[in-house]
Structure 1
């Protein structure tokens, strides 16, 4: 009994140390010019049994389970932040990259792996499938708060959020063909179509259901709403996977629907999901770092083969896949070059590399080690230079205006009121007006105005300017009227100018 308590205390202590180290790492990653996720992996490798020996971990099954759970949370948070108005124009190229692009990348890398790794044909195709997709966790982490051109950034995020089903399908299909040679390829294609279809349908329907549930249920604490939303994300994954659909795609679709709908306690849900996603990202990459043994990874055999395959993946396979997948889709050469360079590898390939380990595939340990090395190379080379490349190619947009402030709202329990946060845009009809002139609906009160990161106490004479963040306390009854007022644009004024030009 005493030994069990000591073991539990040690686990809690080590977990706290790893999380603190991960959080501190994010602070210095930008200064070091290295993506934070690489440093998370390094922390795991250093703390592992082949490093300082503090944590002995070699359970691929547990790592896979933690990895999938973390990916659900990360995809959910990424989907919440995806704006439909910027996503809609890039759906076609994103889906093309997520399907045809992954297939083409996997095929080219598999051809190289056949010669370089001296594997069988199916095992080489398995390796290509594992590293063929762009990783959502890596892309979301690297692009977060960066002023990358909105169209290009959204294309990358949509691709990485929706290409996991293709990578998972190809990996599982290759394992089935290796372990069960009689498997029908036609049935595998049918399975893929079913997985994608169920993922989209269930994700969309679940999203609509969650929006209604969040807006109609009255919980005793505002802190329960984010947990409620996260629970639905996990439920959506579980139900979809149980029905042989793509659970990861369903979660991403679910999050997009929720993120682009009016929901109660939106600010709390978004902030909680962001923090939870960071925690899962730290945990996942540290666990994956623990799983690898540096003495096996950093051998000349793995290093040379890994570098050669990384070169082919980064400079040959990915560019060919990007240019071929976006033919006639109105992307400039500079944009295609950036999309080619930004095909980051991360947690998904490492998690997928545990599949052949658990299946007992011949050469699976070599595949895992080389995949791990390729991921490290991708993160170090591509991840560390992605922002500089965007600047040199002229693909940076306006600096993101995330306010450097926080406004905590004490739980209102069952009181029928909400706090709304809204950023005033250039063409907003209320921009330039004073609060006294704006006809807010009954029950709506402006509590705070944030301008250039400074708090302004609102009065009747306070003039609203573009870029201001308004915090408005409103009754749920007046919410729709308030939304209509805030989203009203100066269309009539623009139309009048255009009419005068015609005259």
Structure 2
């Protein structure tokens, strides 16, 4: 049997690629399963097969330089190009208008401030060369949306602060990358020892060429899509190939302007209008997840023990402290002065976790800066250390902010203190009635549907509405998950309802996801299996069709407060036909009823039921079916 070191030496490039894919996707899946930041597990996986294996076994299990040789840099370059294109594709100008002045200030005013302050910290505290510090600070402007979103849900942080943190992360992804690209272009031309005027002219020219190429490619492709010149099954592959072609063409014109071109390409395509844009965006997101995982494993495994140990110095510690406790808070307080109160500014100034994009871009430019610094250029001193510094920044911010965002937001009274509301998926006459009665008893409700016309009655009733597909990546970013802790799928499609419940189950818990009965026939073998669906709302056999039928038979929702006199037994006796939907406690928590989930029926609870309309002529409605008017009246609703 061969030793581990011998096995590592025998790994072919194909085996290395396979192992990188397994490690990257395995870390992503485990992070989802354990509700942990994926970046932490991917880092551990890369370190174990790279530097840790070198120390323990004498040889790395995954050594990108040995496996891929001169192809390592092109592989990483193409992957980063696609990642930046995907980031540009997600940046829509209409979103910038809708995010509010706080987010625009954080990005367009706070971004440059953070860049300048971070550059000073890198130069004076971390001991980097001026050029290296400027480039690293530009990358660290990025706050990862894939990291911040789980933190916002975990801390129940919504409102203005949650919106500011979420959209800052989304918009900053391409902005921070462009900062780094601009810094590298300046440094690359600067070390060529040309005249200052020629340097500035060439940088401006190269940037214009890159932007023009990207914008032109975006317009041409969007026009081809709108004019149906490309069939549906070829659209996604053509976008992928066109990104690579755009990057390659830009690089052929001038080295390192390819990143500018693909970012401009993504922004142009993302802001164009054609029918398949949503499907294209989802395809690119899937590709980006794979590439980010792969690049992260490659960069982490490519670190040497010496580079990692070089990060464990007092300079690194001081740099991290200044970035967390001086640069970020000062940036937020200055850029949002007059917009946020001191509590909101304090929380936003503390929470800024970095993500995988920051490390991927840092590793990409670290290789190039190291090559430029081979002649001992003092401007680029410390280029070999910036990847380790970026890793340190990511680890510290993810851990520190992940453990403190909840307690700090509660301490500052910014987290949601009351019970979370309900997400109703599927707008129809019955669900709109349910939303109205839930709102009347003080339960926060969000109604979601893909058709804005079906949502009109809910909006007119003052119910918050979300137009879009709740299963999409866009909903992950635009739907405030901090506002609900329960999901009820009430569309006409049983299989879609089950899919929605499975989607929200890991986040909310399966006991907090409900859907209508799969079929009007109890025990229907052709329905959705119990193992793949949400909990049944109301009783089995009460499906969508019968509820809509009863709605048009003038059945309505009722809310009834139980007391010591009017208890649950009396309610059931006087309303035998009513369907029990939910029970709302005095503190505002709502419990949806169904098979094996009978109401507690305690005094002070409010029962929401669906049944025949009460007699409107009587001030205090009499009992429904079969009860004589002489019986004691129902409680006032």
User: TM class by shorter-chain length?
Assistant: 0.5 to 0.7
SS in structure 1 at match of 2:138: coil
| Change over 3 Å in CA distance of 1:32–1:340 after alignment to 2 | same
Q: Is the 8 A contact 2:80 2:364 kept in 1?
A: no
The one of 283, 288, 307 equivalent to 1:277 is: 288
Deviation sequence 1:244-276 (CA, Å, 0-9, x none): 585434433433443454434445423321221
Structure number, greater radius of gyration: 2
* Structure having greater relative contact order (Cα 8 Å, sep ≥ 6): 1
The one of 204, 223, 226 equivalent to 2:236 is: 226
| Change over 3 Å in CA distance of 1:159–1:266 after alignment to 2 | closer
**Distance in 2, Cα, partners of 1:228 & 1:399:** 43
Report the alpha carbon displacement of residue 280 of structure 1 after superposing the two structures with TM. 0.4
| Change over 3 Å in CA distance of 1:313–1:432 after alignment to 2 | closer
Mapped pair 1:212 → 2:223: yes
SS in structure 2 at match of 1:316: helix
1:492 matched residue in structure 2: none
Mapped pair 1:308 → 2:318: yes
1:125 matched residue in structure 2: 130
The one of 109, 112, 115 equivalent to 2:125 is: 112
Deviation sequence 1:141-196 (CA, Å, 0-9, x none): 3245665633432223212312323223324434554x44x444454444554455
2:167 matched residue in structure 1: 154
Q: Is the 8 A contact 2:336 2:345 kept in 1?
A: no
The one of 318, 330, 333 equivalent to 1:320 is: 330
Deviation sequence 1:9-44 (CA, Å, 0-9, x none): 833233222212221212333677763234323323
Report the alpha carbon displacement of residue 335 of structure 1 after superposing the two structures with TM. 4.3
**Distance in 1, Cα, partners of 2:545 & 2:376:** 72
SS in structure 1 at match of 2:23: helix
| Change over 3 Å in CA distance of 1:377–1:35 after alignment to 2 | farther
| Change over 3 Å in CA distance of 1:169–1:217 after alignment to 2 | same
Report the alpha carbon displacement of residue 197 of structure 1 after superposing the two structures with TM. 4.8
RMSD after superposition: 4.4
| Change over 3 Å in CA distance of 1:15–1:310 after alignment to 2 | same
| Change over 3 Å in CA distance of 1:70–1:422 after alignment to 2 | farther
Q: Is the 8 A contact 1:45 1:294 kept in 2?
A: no
2:47 matched residue in structure 1: 45
The one of 142, 146, 151 equivalent to 2:147 is: 142
Deviation sequence 1:360-384 (CA, Å, 0-9, x none): 1539998255323322222112123
1:382 matched residue in structure 2: 397
The one of 309, 331, 339 equivalent to 1:298 is: 309
Structure 1 range deviating more: 266-275 or 276-285: 266-275
When normalised by structure 2's length, the TM-score is 0.55
2:352 matched residue in structure 1: 342
Q: Is the 8 A contact 1:342 1:382 kept in 2?
A: yes
The answer for unaligned runs of 5 or more in structure 1 is: 1-6, 118-122, 404-420, 434-445, 464-503
Deviation sequence 1:309-333 (CA, Å, 0-9, x none): 2222332334334444x25583454
**Distance in 1, Cα, partners of 2:214 & 2:422:** 29
1:490 matched residue in structure 2: none
**Distance in 2, Cα, partners of 1:197 & 1:296:** 37
The count of residues paired between Structure 1 and Structure 2 equals: 416
Report the alpha carbon displacement of residue 226 of structure 1 after superposing the two structures with TM. 1.2
Mapped pair 1:75 → 2:89: no
SS in structure 2 at match of 1:55: coil
When normalised by structure 1's length, the TM-score is 0.67
Report the alpha carbon displacement of residue 293 of structure 1 after superposing the two structures with TM. 0.8
Q: Is the 8 A contact 1:83 1:260 kept in 2?
A: yes
Deviation sequence 1:266-321 (CA, Å, 0-9, x none): 4542332122111101111111112211244225x744332222222332334334
The answer for unaligned runs of 5 or more in structure 2 is: 1-8, 426-447, 461-490, 502-514, 520-543, 552-637
Q: Is the 8 A contact 2:307 2:388 kept in 1?
A: no
| Change over 3 Å in CA distance of 1:171–1:202 after alignment to 2 | closer
